[in-house]
Amino acid sequence: MEKILIAVDDGMPQHGHGLPTALQMTAYLGNGKNRTDGVRFNMRGWQKFKLDISAIETADTITFNLVF
């Protein structure tokens, strides 16, 4: 099986800081699903999550914008 690496970055762009916790990909759940732990929202507003995904021959990035 090909090894896949996923790096997670987070933050509040309007405040210039990240979340108070460190996000980590903690488990591969099978069927292309992974679990991320360490998500804690302590402020309302725009949250930005960026996943950098890389495998042996390819890489991609996806960004999720959440506002609450």
**Residue extents of the structural domains in the chain:** 5-67
Neighbours of 19 (CB within 10 A): 17
State CA 12 to chain mean position distance: 13
Q: Tell me, what's the pLDDT at 59?
A: 94
What are the tens digits of pLDDT across the range 14-43? 877 777 777 777 888 888 788 888 777 778
HSE (side-chain half, CA atoms, 13 Å) at 49: 18
Per-residue confidence band for 2, with pLDDT thresholds at 50, 70 and 90? low
**Which residues is 53 bridged to in the sheet?**
6, 60
What per-residue confidence (pLDDT) applies to 1? 52
For residue 33, is it left (φ>0), alpha (ψ between -120 and 50) or beta? beta
